[in-house]
Amino acid sequence: MGIVLQVSNLSVVLDRKIIFEKINFALEEGQTLVVLGPNGAGKTVLLKALIGLLPYQGEVLWKKKTKIGYVPQRVPLNRDIPISVAEFFQLKKVSMNETVEILKQVGFAESSIIGTQLGLLSSGQFQRVLIAWALVSQPDILFFDEPTAGIDIGGEETIYDLLQAAKVKRNFSVILVTHDLSTVYTEATNVLCLNSKMSCYGPPEKILDPKNLQAIYGREIKYFRHSHG
Amino acid sequence: MDSHLALQLVAGSCVAGTSAYLGSLMMTKRMGLVGDALGHVALPGMGIALLLNLDTSLGALFFLGIGILLIWKLAHITSISLEALAGIIFVTSLSIGFLIIPKPELLESLIGDISRLSRFGVTFSVIISGLVFVAVKRIYAGMMLMNISEDLAFVEGITPKRYNLYYLICVAMLVSVGIKVTGSLLVGALVIVPSATARVLSSNLKHYVRISIGVGILSNVLGILTSNYLRCIPGPVIILFSALSFIVAVGYRQVFKVS
């Protein structure tokens, strides 16, 4: 397995405030890095810096020709744009068949969704459309920012099941920002924890002890490890 | 139909159709008044061209070029929105225009008159409209994606700074010929009213673009023919037909409760 992304001494300063500094990690093909931390710790800033949306200091080295998929935490719906779901995918030249197929994969059983105006979707539906939008380009690495926020998938199926299914088909790397500690053991190869004072990095078994969690979140975190059957 | 009227219809339709196409992008960018503001930026250039016996579009294009470069540069230095910056440049240009242009030329610059279009004017309008149409078609998907989310657009390899510059150049080029049809005072209406009508009537992008262009061209044809019949200035009549289409569209939507 080759390294997709190598990050050395990454620091971000916005409006003269240090968001985080000297972050180091590496991500190999097919691995999942979960980024944990309280609100305001700079998790979204980290993703945006890696993608190139925000300025940073340090070194971010990508494997050549790495294709990025990005599911942002929130995209405010601009209802002034009369664009259907199918036309949204056409903006990046995705065919109708591919659009229907990828939408099925993210839980839209009915194909009528493709004719629906983007501005009329619920926030959960829109979030799922964004996930499909990111997956359809067959990325080598997927940036997932708080993917469960606003998701309304029915039954037992979660957005992580969708992610697992997609990964079975194509073994891409994932950087996942989440608050959801229960996903860490099932999803993460490594964990990067961020808060304004410290950061830690390593496999979940080593990182997620109660003492570390308290240091990250600034309070006692009760967490019971369980496995999905 | 005499050949001069036919030429007016051709030139006007090219300008109005392309303006409406660009307007459909402007409307979703929530920058409906930029075309209006840039129309006024053109005023000093038009005045100087009239004083020097040159085509007004050439003078307008020169001033618009300076105007959009200033707006684009200031947007990246100050982080103030393009629309607000266009407003600042517009009032400055308007003030200069009022000071340097004699009254008769001022009226012509403000209201325009497509019925006085020379053969050079017709050719220039058709070529510029054609070029802008092709350019807008090329940037349309990228700009639309930017309007939905600049972050998503960036990941797809679209550089907002570059696209905004292309977009401003398109607006400036089109305004430089649009002022022939409606004058600098009403040129913004060519851009924004057809797309507002289309927005009321459409639920997807394809219909939105087609209705915008259709309303733009139809208002232009009806406006020129009516003004030719009534012997009045075409610009305001074109805009009134365009505004009428908007009122009819809103009425239609109210009556039929289209979602």
pLDDT tens for each residue of A43-67 = 889 999 999 889 999 999 999 888 9
Percent above pLDDT 90 for chain A: 23
A15 CB neighbours in chain B (<8 A) are none
- Could you tell me if residue A23 is inside a domain? yes
**Whole-number CA gyration radius for chain A:** 18
Strand order across the beta sheet in which A17-28 lies: A17-28, A3-14, A57-62
Mean predicted lDDT score pLDDT of chain B:
88
Q: Which two tokens stand for residue B58?
A: 């050439």
Task: Render pLDDT for B180-203 as a digit per residue (tens, 0 to 9).
Answer: 888 888 888 888 999 999 999 998
CATH code of the domain containing A70: 3.40.50.300
- Could you tell me if residue B242 is inside a domain? yes
Using the beta-carbon criterion (under 8 Å), do B28 and A80 form an inter-chain contact?
A: yes
Q: Is the pLDDT of residue A158 over 80?
A: no
**Are A38 and A216 contacting, i.e. CB atoms less than 8 angstroms apart?**
yes
Q: Is the pLDDT of residue A156 over 50?
A: no
- Could you tell me if residue A223 is inside a domain? no
Which one of B30, B154, B156 has the shortest CB-CB distance to A92?
Answer: B156
Tell whether B258 is within 8 A of chain A (Cβ).
no
- Please state, in angstroms and rounded to a whole number, the distance separating the CA atoms of residues A102 and A229: 26
Which one of A68, A75, A92 has the shortest CB-CB distance to B149?
Answer: A75
- Could you tell me if residue B127 is inside a domain? yes
Which DSSP symbol is given to A26? Answer: E
A82 CB neighbours in chain B (<8 A) are 199, 202-205, 207-208
Q: What is the mean pLDDT of residues B64-77?
A: 86
Read off the amino acid at residue A214. Q
Tell whether B144 is within 8 A of chain A (Cβ).
yes
- Could you tell me if residue B259 is inside a domain? no
B150 min Cα distance to partner chain A (Å): 9
Q: Is the pLDDT of residue A155 over 50?
A: no
Which one of A72, A75, A82 has the shortest CB-CB distance to B205?
Answer: A82
Band (pLDDT 50/70/90 cuts) for residue B4 is confident
- Could you tell me if residue B88 is inside a domain? yes
**Are B172 and B166 contacting, i.e. CB atoms less than 8 angstroms apart?**
no
Distance between the two ends of chain A, CA-based, in angstroms? 28
CATH code of the domain containing B14: 1.10.3470.10
- Could you tell me if residue B255 is inside a domain? no
Task: Render pLDDT for B82-120 as a digit per residue (tens, 0 to 9).
Answer: 778 888 888 898 898 888 888 777 877 788 778 888 888
With tokens 């092709």, the residue in question is B134
ipTM above 0.95, yes or no: no
- Could you tell me if residue B191 is inside a domain? yes
Tell whether B207 is within 8 A of chain A (Cβ).
yes
CA angle B256, B258, B259 (to 5 degrees): 155
Task: Provide the whole-model pTM.
Answer: 0.84
- Could you tell me if residue A153 is inside a domain? yes
Chain A: residue whose CA lies nearest to B146: A91
How many domains does chain B divide into?
1
Q: Is the pLDDT of residue A28 over 70?
A: yes
Q: What is the reported pLDDT for A228?
A: 45
Q: What is the reported pLDDT for B219?
A: 96
B149 CB neighbours in chain A (<8 A) are 72, 75
Q: What is the reported pLDDT for B214?
A: 97
Task: Render pLDDT for B130-156 as a digit per residue (tens, 0 to 9).
Answer: 999 999 999 999 999 998 888 899 999
Q: What is the reported pLDDT for A229?
A: 37
- Which helix (H) or strand (E) element contains residue A176? strand A173-177
Using the beta-carbon criterion (under 8 Å), do B205 and A48 form an inter-chain contact?
A: no
Band (pLDDT 50/70/90 cuts) for residue A152 is low
Task: Render pLDDT for A62-102 as a digit per residue (tens, 0 to 9).
Answer: 998 889 999 888 777 777 789 999 999 999 999 999 999 88
How many domains does chain A divide into?
1
**Are A126 and A152 contacting, i.e. CB atoms less than 8 angstroms apart?**
no
- Could you tell me if residue A115 is inside a domain? yes
Q: What is the reported pLDDT for A149?
A: 56
Read off the amino acid at residue B241. F
Percent helix, strand and coil across chain B, each to the nearest 5: 85, 0, 15
Q: Which two tokens stand for residue A180?
A: 């959801």
Q: What is the reported pLDDT for A164?
A: 79
Query: What is the span of the domain harbouring residue A89?
Result: 3-217
Which one of B141, B147, B204 has the shortest CB-CB distance to A117?
Answer: B204
Read off the amino acid at residue A40. G
- Could you tell me if residue A226 is inside a domain? no
Q: b/e per residue, B113-151, with b = 16+ CB within 10 A?
A: bbbebeeebbebbbebbeebbebbeebbbbbbbbbbbeb
Chain B: residue whose CA lies nearest to A51: B155
- Could you tell me if residue A74 is inside a domain? yes
For the ranges A21-35, A144-158, A197-211, B29-43, the one whose mean pLDDT is highest: A21-35
Instruction: Tell which wins on pLDDT, B243 or A170.
Output: B243
Q: b/e per residue, B177-216, with b = 16+ CB within 10 A?
A: bbbbbbbbbbbbbbbbbbbbbbbbbbbbbeebbebbbbbb
Q: Which two tokens stand for residue B189?
A: 């209406």
Task: Render pLDDT for B6-44 as a digit per residue (tens, 0 to 9).
Answer: 999 999 999 999 999 999 998 887 666 677 788 888 888
Q: What is the reported pLDDT for B98?
A: 86
Q: What is the reported pLDDT for B127?
A: 95
- Could you tell me if residue A228 is inside a domain? no
Query: What is the span of the domain harbouring residue B113?
Result: 3-250
Q: Is the pLDDT of residue B57 over 80?
A: yes
- Please state, in angstroms and rounded to a whole number, the distance separating the CA atoms of residues A30 and A174: 7
